[in-house]
Structure 1
């Protein structure tokens, strides 16, 4: 009796030691600072799961009971790194942190109810009768789900009837959304405002430039979008958004454990024998009359699908080539993944869902290409007052702060105005490297050159990203070229490599060769109505240095002025 009374006195203490669970869902304020993928230069952001990361600070209000409690932060970023989480504002700090990665899913429910009882509901499609029976999950979710009923052990959804499992509750071990849980203690019940700061993977950002070339070909209206990407399933509403330009030193994080599978992989394998199916009779096809069987081998390799003579085969192949690979005889046929199909099977095929689109009565063709991109912006881009990201210094890095609150939506991208330089001045230059030279004319590469300075209409840091250049022809704005822009500080040279020009061509000719020297000549033709400046890149040792020679990253650069609708030549001598 005394042991029983002692146990009753200890029960409240044991229950109190287990602690209470407090769930925090709502976020009153959030700030998101996105860092670019450290392994990506100026290329496109990775689709699906971006390779950058973000620093997220959330402000939440919680109510803690007296004593020990488990505090669960829901709606955190999917790529949260739990080792980086910092929580301020708690009365006694944090005793333990846990990243709960098991989310509610079909596979997660099966795993949580393993060896537990569920309800199986089956519907007879003929009568509509619904039957329910109790079952115990024996194995799963990987490789199929086995359940035990009163009739024995069977595989889920292999009975031939529509069926589903009904669970009595949602297990405490599963979360509806990404969750960070901690253990804390308070000496009294209170309501506190805390800040949760953590780093998360699955974010990235890039600058996307749009250049509109003026009619004179020397001025450009340069506009840049700040594009941020969130690859997770969690949105951040009314966030204070910032991005960091540059590459801060960051070491790779330890790879997180693989998340549990979310989908069920159910497969049914028939366990039958030939005695359970009726015998199938095969009808022998009649031998075609007048067939020269000496032209066929024992297995009829010369006749795919049926016997035919060599003359008939050649006729069929000519008709197939004339019809682009489709059957062309008197029979009406279509082509599906390279096989011939008679007309009798067409109706059955068209009644089924197919990954291809029927574009004519006789052929199935691939689906049409995606819609073209939207038209480019106008000559000048109007930006609402207070809607352009502002640049600030962050040590040797640059911080771009979006002045208004924005929503960083889940699994999506957002664009905010970043740079507006309406009169950036560039010089058009044509360039060729003698390493790829030949004695027949070939087009020269053309590029735009400038200096990132205020005198050239720039003078602002240019983050890495892609640039699309548009020019107006006959009143229509057309894409003239694309290039990637590296991180450029103020004062650095800017070069945009935009393509090749068929109007400006060059050829390389060897004039003379001795034991210690080689003399070469470059001939350039200009079919444009304006003079052009060309550069010949020579990545070799020169015996003599002509006037105007410059040293560039690819080698010596020899300038050449070519008149409009004219030609020009330049010679150089190499050491052997």
Structure 2
């Protein structure tokens, strides 16, 4: 037998696609004459075709997962002698088990009478062959080549995701990243080195993630170490952790204080109120500069009147590299009103002209910069006249409009569409 108690080192690398790699070092006990090794304490969702073994030359591998339950146990004893104990008197009597399909059907070994739905404490002499208490790897060994065996395999039922908690101020914020690790693999991992792999790994088949309710949640505070690894990003938790089966565990990934940030207000021609984006650069010079795994980003802000913290918005971010801009959609600015209209439209030869106006009313106590994204009707165009500077962005017209506090601003521009170069797609 090789139970988990013989484990000398355990490393758990969890991918955010719902699976994990388990690496174990276990001491090899003396081999029996039949050269069979029972490798105990493995997860129910182990991928046996991913198994790698060093220290033992394995000739044959079997994965035994026919776990014992009441019906399977009784099924093994049909046609055999069992004992029934009267709970009140303690009297014990032997019977032949005929059926266990819909209640017990027994035959009295002396009178040969048939007893249906017999009551009492059922006692079986032993656990029948072919039934096991835990999933077990059974190996037939050719040779032992080391004192320890190093076993590596993949398993399903483990996943992790990230929640970012930002405490924002006027121009900066403090950030804490929490990892939530979910274990539904059917096994507890004790004193494991925990690694978290961020990125997309291709699998031949999409791995199924079981949905269930977890009864236990733990929280740990520690700072993870990061490294780039094969176009992915690997985060190693510095302290050993124990991850119980059917448990969610929260681990602090990192913290970063005083990251410079900016609120951006964006609107298009169909919106009455602009969308608010909380933005920052993921740069070392900005107090951050680490790859950010995909996850949920929650925004909190202190109320200056009573010092309480209020939730002001939430969004998700994709995997974000260093030096990239992060944009969190936090909500809608209902105290900024934007109305737009095409006030005139006319033709001149091959050109079609549109005169567009935006009226912006800012009721806030502070000035803002409003970013207008105006969609165009045709692909080939030019802005021939505008009250504000404009740029071409993803085929649209983009203008930045400063608006003072408690004031209004008007934006007007003329678009010239060139219909002579329209290409008809067959």
Query: As a proportion of its length, which structure holds more strand?
Result: 2
Which whole-Å CA distance do the structure 1 matches of 2:11 and 2:131 have between them?
A: 28
Deviation at 1:433, TM superposition (A): 2.5
Query: Which residue pairs with 1:271 in the alignment?
Result: none
Higher helix share: 1
Query: Is this contact kept in 1: 2:71–2:100, CA < 8 A?
Result: no
Q: Which residue of 2 aligns with 1:222?
A: 175
Q: Aligned ranges for residues 140-289 of structure 1 at < 5 Å?
A: 140=101, 144-145=102-103, 147-150=105-108, 151-152=113-114, 154=116, 156=117, 163=120, 165-186=122-143, 192-214=147-169, 217-252=170-205
- Give the superposition deviation at 1:478: 0.9
Pair 554,469 (structure 1): closer, same or farther in 2 beyond 3 Å: farther
2:8 is aligned to 28
Q: Compute the displacement of 1:35 (Å).
A: 0.8
CA distance in 2, matches of 1:102, 1:553: 58
Shift in alpha-carbon separation, 1:554–1:233, aligned structure 2, 3 A: farther
1:80 CA drift (Å): 0.6
Q: Note closer, same or farther for the CA distance 1:133–1:561 as it changes in structure 2 (3 Å cut).
A: farther
CA deviation after TM superposition for structure 1 residue 392, in Å: 0.9
Shift of 1:524: 2.0
Q: Taking structure 1 as reference, are residues 238 and 513 closer, same or farther at Cα in structure 2, changes over 3 Å only?
A: same
Query: C-alpha offsets along residues 2-58 of structure 1, whole Å, 9 cap, x if unaligned?
Result: xxxxxxxxxxxxxxxxxxxx3434222211011111xxxxxxxxxxxxxx1111011
Q: CA deviation at 1:548?
A: 3.7
Give distance in 2, aligned partners of 1:554 and 1:118.
81
Distance (whole Å) between structure 1 residues aligned to residue 274 and residue 86 of structure 2 = 72
Q: Distance in 1 between matches of 2:30 and 2:286?
A: 60
Structure 1 gap segments, 5+ residues each: 1-21, 38-51, 256-382
Check if 1:109 corresponds to 2:62.
Answer: no
Q: CA deviation at 1:115?
A: 4.0
Deviations 1:122-158 (A, max 9, x none): 65xxxx5566552414354xxx45533344374x5xx
Pairwise CA distance, 1:400: 0.7
SS of residue matched to 1:424: strand
Aligned mates of 1:152, 1:548 — CA distance in 2: 96
Matched, 1:54 2:20: yes
Distance 1:94 1:561 in 2: 73
Partners of 2:163 and 2:297 within 8 A in 1: yes
Provide closer, same or farther for how the CA distance between residues 556 and 182 of structure 1 changes in structure 2, counting only shifts above 3 A: farther
Question: Equivalent residue for 1:539?
Answer: 375
Per-residue deviation, 1:460:
1.5
Cα distance in 2, alignment partners of residues 555 and 177 from structure 1: 61
Structure 1 residues 107, 531: CA separation in 2 closer, same or farther (over 3 Å shift)? farther
Alignment-derived partner of residue 406 in structure 2: 565
Determine the C-alpha separation between the residues in 1 that align with 2:127 and 2:103: 19
Q: TM-score, normalised by structure 2?
A: 0.83
Q: CA RMSD, aligned part only?
A: 2.7
Size of the aligned set, in residue pairs, is: 389
Match of 1:401 among 236, 248, 252: 236
